Structure 1
Amino acid sequence: MIESVQKRVEAALAEIKPQIQADGGDIDLVTIENNIVKVRLRGACAGCPMSALTLKAGVERIIKQKVPEIKSVEAVQ
């Protein structure tokens, strides 16, 4: 059985969360629209200047690796 895109994105985020939480932050899935994942960064990540790099080089790369249908990952407030 093929898992839904949302379930696979949630599984990828579950793998990523411990590293983000180790730095005092957190990440939540907000929505997936047109294969664009929208996440909310919380805690230390919310105001961190490195959050854009973390999002693109870390989170987006891992999600796209595990869920190839995903086009991009964006942070929302």
Structure 2
Amino acid sequence: MIEEIKQIIEQDINPQLELHAGGCELLDVDDGIVTLRLYGGCSGCPSSQITLFNGIVPILKEKIPDIKDVVLG
């Protein structure tokens, strides 16, 4: 699952975040809980929670239904 998540981040998520000079990386996967770190323009952005819940989470859960939650670390 880890490699699949990394591939989704690289191909589907980061190209969109790069439009705002940012990106995300996988920190951990534990019992279906995915921990990500936002960096660049996304780190500390007031809209980062919106980006996470309206952008990143739906993509990951659609492609990998076994994911229970996605959190920032």
TM-score, scaled to structure 2: 0.92
Query: Which residue identity does 2:3 align to in structure 1?
Result: K
Cα distance in 1 for partners of 2:4, 2:64 equals 6
Cα distance in 1 for partners of 2:32, 2:40 equals 26
Please give the secondary structure, in 1, of the residue aligned with 2:66. coil
Aligned residues with identical type, % of pairs: 35
The runs of 5 or more residues in structure 1 that have no matched partner are: none
**Is 1:34 the equivalent of 2:34?**
no
Structure with higher Rg: it is 1
Please give the secondary structure, in 1, of the residue aligned with 2:43. helix
Cα distance in 2 for partners of 1:71, 1:57 equals 15
The runs of 5 or more residues in structure 2 that have no matched partner are: none
Count residues in correspondence.
Answer: 72
Match of 1:12 among 8, 20, 35: 8
User: Displacement of 1:57 after TM fit?
Assistant: 0.9
Cα distance in 1 for partners of 2:21, 2:32 equals 28
- Which aligned runs of 4 or more in structure 1 are off by greater than 6 angstroms? none
TM-score, scaled to structure 1: 0.88
